[in-house]
């Protein structure tokens, strides 16, 4: 059942519980000359049948030659995979009015979106995000990208999908760790929006299994992102707020060579850091419950192994910095989040040292 739907620029966003057929029926599939699919084998194994049955029920049966399986893993979000998918589309006779249907998490979505953005100078795509992280973040706003050996997401563009279907059914097969990591982007949306959604995010049980029941509140998180993107699609200003928690997160991912933390876990730690920084800047703690919500969803790790100086140096490389100044997103209170261009290093050092102390007390050590 579709629980919510709205338009964002040229995209239609559907949110619901087991709602593929209902949503696809509203997507004017007749407009497209042909349908092509990109996914990963395991993800297709879990969810491809239900999706292709929904297409078939509408008169669009799906055959194997319409599906491209890309390998799993961030390292395959590469120019090589990009080229391979483009050539496959040519071989299959895709044209610029064919639809690329993307079933997968953020890696598949980023890469396939970039393929769609550039194939014959742009073809439409429909995204069914299969992780909580991608539902809350990558599926909305059309950021597409591939990695270079020199860094993540260095090549890409904005190309919003024609339709997005955010369905709780896919969450049932996700490992708990992935769910916990994806939750952090939802929590971020609660922090950006205001006290009520922040509290609703805190109220999501750590061990929730009933994602259909959580879908109405998760849908509100998706809408928060959509409203920011609606105002500022190309990240000239307000969209930078979505970077809340990400400056330290990216540094942490880089420091641990992308091996220790899932992106969402690093974001959770970054949210805590940002809240503590806000407290030092504004003098009051506006974030009751944040530490518990984050820490209860983190795996064990050894915070004593962090080199705090190196970590802070890495924050200076954030590619969203402009003119050498790093924009820190400071959450003063729920719904009151500001962009501060440049924060004094001693303040960052004190805050990081406090964060390390707090984490050392509450996070079990790995090993």
CB neighbourhood size of 102 (10 A) = 27
Least separation, in Å, of the C-beta of 241 and ligand GLY? 9
> Which of 242, 314, 352, 355: binder of ligand GLY (CB under 6 A)?
242
Residues 272 and 294: beta-carbon distance below 8 Å: yes
Nearer to ligand GLY, 89 or 271 (CB): 271
- Residue 12 interacts with ligand GLY (CB under 6 A)? no
Place of tokens 């059942």: 1
Q: Strand 163-167 vs strand 125-129: parallel, antiparallel, or unpaired? A: parallel
Nearer to ligand GLY, 62 or 242 (CB): 242
Give the tokens for residue 65.
């030659």
Site string for ligand GLY, 16-45 (x = CB under 6 A): ------------------------------
- Residue 137 interacts with ligand GLY (CB under 6 A)? yes
Least separation, in Å, of the C-beta of 105 and ligand GLY? 14
Using the contact rule CB under 6 A, the part of the chain among 72-80, 150-158, 234-242, 341-349 near ligand GLY is 234-242
Known catalytic residues are 121, 143, 185, 225, 235, 239, 243, 246, 250, 263
Least separation, in Å, of the C-beta of 277 and ligand GLY? 19
| Residues near 262 by beta carbon (within 8 Å), at least 6 away in sequence | 133, 177, 178, 181
- Residue 245 interacts with ligand GLY (CB under 6 A)? no
Using the contact rule CB under 6 A, the part of the chain among 136-144, 165-173, 197-205, 349-357 near ligand GLY is 136-144
Handedness of CA 66, 72, 77, 83 (dihedral sign): negative
Residues 344 and 312: beta-carbon distance below 8 Å: no
Handedness of CA 35, 225, 211, 294 (dihedral sign): positive
Three-state DSSP class for residue 241: helix
Nearer to ligand GLY, 137 or 291 (CB): 137
Q: Which residue has its beta carbon closest to ligand GLY?
A: 242
Nearer to ligand GLY, 113 or 141 (CB): 141
Q: Total residues contacting ligand GLY (rule CB under 6 A)? A: 6
- For 53-122, give the DSSP string: HHHHHTT----GGGEEEPPSSGGGSSHHHHHHHHHHHHHTT--TTSEEEEEESHHHHHHHHHHHHHGGG-
Cα separations (Å) of 172 from 167, 179, 209?
10, 10, 7
Three-state DSSP class for residue 250: helix
Nearer to ligand GLY, 193 or 239 (CB): 239
Least separation, in Å, of the C-beta of 143 and ligand GLY? 5
Nearest one of 165, 32, 176 to 103, comparing CA atoms: 165
- Residue 141 interacts with ligand GLY (CB under 6 A)? yes
Which backbone phi and psi does 318 adopt, to 5 degrees? -50, 125
- Residue 193 interacts with ligand GLY (CB under 6 A)? no
> Which of 239, 250, 263, 297: binder of ligand GLY (CB under 6 A)?
239
What residue ranges bind ligand GLY (CB under 6 A)?
137, 141, 143, 235, 239, 242
């Amino acid at each position: 059942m579709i629980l919510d739907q709205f338009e964002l620029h040229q995209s239609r966003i559907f949110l619901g519980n087991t709602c593929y057929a209902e949503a696809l029926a509203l997507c004017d599939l007749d407009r497209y000359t042909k349908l092509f699919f990109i996914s990963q084998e395991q993800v297709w194994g879990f969810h491809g049948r239900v999706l292709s049955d929904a297409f078939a029920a509408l008169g669009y049966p799906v055959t194997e030659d319409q599906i491209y399986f890309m390998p799993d893993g961030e390292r395959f979000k590469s120019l090589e995979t990009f080229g391979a998918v483009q050539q496959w589309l040519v071989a299959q006779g895709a044209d610029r009015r064919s639809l690329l249907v993307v079933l997968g998490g953020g890696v598949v979505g980023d890469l396939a979106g970039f393929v769609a953005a550039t194939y014959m100078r742009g073809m439409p795509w429909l995204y069914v995000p299969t992780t909580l992280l991608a539902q809350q973040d990558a599926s909305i706003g059309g950021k597409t990208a591939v990695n270079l050996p020199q860094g993540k997401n260095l090549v890409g563009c904005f190309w919003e999908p024609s339709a997005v279907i955010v369905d709780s059914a896919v969450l049932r097969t996700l490992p708990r760790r992935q769910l916990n990591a994806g939750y952090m982007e939802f929590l971020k949306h609660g922090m950006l929006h205001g006290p009520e959604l922040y509290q609703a995010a805190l109220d999501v049980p750590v061990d929730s299994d009933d994602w259909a029941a959580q879908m109405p509140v998760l849908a509100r998180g998706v809408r928060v992102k959509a409203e920011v993107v609606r105002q500022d699609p190309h990240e000239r200003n307000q969209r930078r707020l979505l970077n809340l928690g990400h400056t330290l997160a990216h540094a942490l991912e880089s420091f641990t060579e992308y091996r220790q933390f899932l992106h969402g876990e690093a974001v959770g730690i970054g949210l805590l850091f940002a809240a503590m920084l806000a407290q030092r800047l504004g003098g009051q703690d506006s974030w009751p419950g944040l530490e518990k919500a984050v820490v209860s969803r983190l795996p064990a790790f050894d915070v004593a192994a962090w080199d705090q100086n190196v970590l802070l140096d890495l924050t200076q490389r954030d590619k969203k910095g402009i003119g050498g100044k790093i924009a820190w997103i400071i959450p003063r209170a729920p719904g009151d989040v500001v962009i501060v261009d440049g924060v004094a290093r001693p303040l960052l050092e004190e805050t990081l040292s406090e964060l390390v102390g707090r984490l050392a007390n509450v996070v079990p050590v790995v090993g």
